[in-house]
Amino acid sequence: MKFITGKDRYQVEFYTHCLDETISQDNEVRLIDLFVDSLQLSDYGFEMDFIENLPRRQAGGRPAYHPADLLKLFIYGYLNRMRSSRVLEKECTRNIELMWLMKGLVPDHNTIANFRKDNPKAIRKVFQATVALAKHFELIGGKLLAGDSTKLRAQNSKKNNFNPKKIERHLLYIDNKLSEYNTALANADGDENKKVIQEHINTQNQRKDFYNDLTKQLEETGETQVSTSDPDSRQMITRNNITEVAYSTQTTVDAKYNIPIDYKVTNENDSKAMGGMVRRAKTILKKDDFTLLYDKGYHTGSEFAYANALDVEVIVAIPEVASHAPDMAFDVEHFSYNHYYPKVRK
């Protein structure tokens, strides 16, 4: 039986073609390239002249990557679900689309990660520019929108997240251990034993100073918790009653073509997020005659009042009643209001 065979890897080709010919005219990378090149990046907050502003003795090193090239790489990764800077670095060496888009450049993963970390506001403005572009081409209906959130786990374990009660428990434990060590030190025989016990006491005192500093930080900032590895993250409910140290990404999507028009990364739960989402949607659409849909997690009276003040219609699912009457037939949802009051005869 005959099979399809490939080319001989060692066969010399007598014809050549340029890289541009390998990318189809309707490939998305051409749109990314055109879109980024149409932006005046300095207006969005990207640093464009920091090399020129360096002292002459510092400006003689390797030139920096242009923000436009790193932005193109970032957008390509977003569209193709490649968030890891190491993955993007690897793709630059083997992905022919990225070879074309980056013109053969291969930024280091640290360069890619630092670009994303140092330019959050500028990248957000670029996202807003894509929304404006979609509005221009009538891809956003602006009549019906929906808001929801996604919980993203932070690089911070639960043991490195603290609140006042947790700190108090640690301090109580340390005080008990110090009391035990001080008693042992008073009864110890020999310099070697006393030295070992004193080292334990010094260790516990250092831990006590650490927790006292955390307490002071909470008092000064007015926060209810603090994370030591990822300072902006907070412990929150992710599903059912399971908690994680995470971020909450609030997103608003237009119903016409399911295009996201707004997002914001916060460290708060959904109960206090609806008002801000409504306000930003009104600013983006530049009108208030639209409807926003939310699930029951956003059902909060103060947020309803804020949306009403903005004159925007919101529809929010009503949370289920957590408790029931002894006989469920007497639950409040089974009753209807009767406005008729008959006269009572004396």
pLDDT of residue 290: 96
HEC string for 9-23: CCCCCCCCCCHHHHC
Quick check: helix, strand or coil at residue 224? Answer: coil
pLDDT of residue 52: 45
Which structure tokens are listed for 199?
């080292």
CA-CA distance, 246 to 251, in Å (whole number)? 16
Q: Please check whether residue 67 is in contact with residue 75, taking contact to mean a CB–CB distance below 8 angstroms.
A: no
CB neighbour class for 43 (10 Å; exposed up to 12, middle 13-18, buried from 19): exposed
pLDDT of residue 58: 52
pLDDT of residue 331: 78
Closest CA to 312 of 281, 345, 267: 281
pLDDT of residue 190: 75
Q: Indicate the pTM of the whole model.
A: 0.74
pLDDT of residue 346: 54
Q: Please check whether residue 259 is in contact with residue 228, taking contact to mean a CB–CB distance below 8 angstroms.
A: no
pLDDT in tens, the chain (346 residues): 788 888 888 888 776 778 899 999 999 999 999 999 999 999 999 987 654 444 544 555 667 899 999 999 999 999 999 989 999 999 999 999 999 999 999 999 999 999 999 999 999 999 999 999 999 999 999 999 999 999 888 888 899 999 999 999 999 999 999 999 999 988 887 778 888 999 999 999 999 999 999 999 999 999 999 999 988 899 988 877 788 999 999 999 999 999 999 999 888 889 899 999 999 999 999 999 999 999 999 999 999 999 999 999 999 998 876 667 778 888 777 888 777 666 656 5
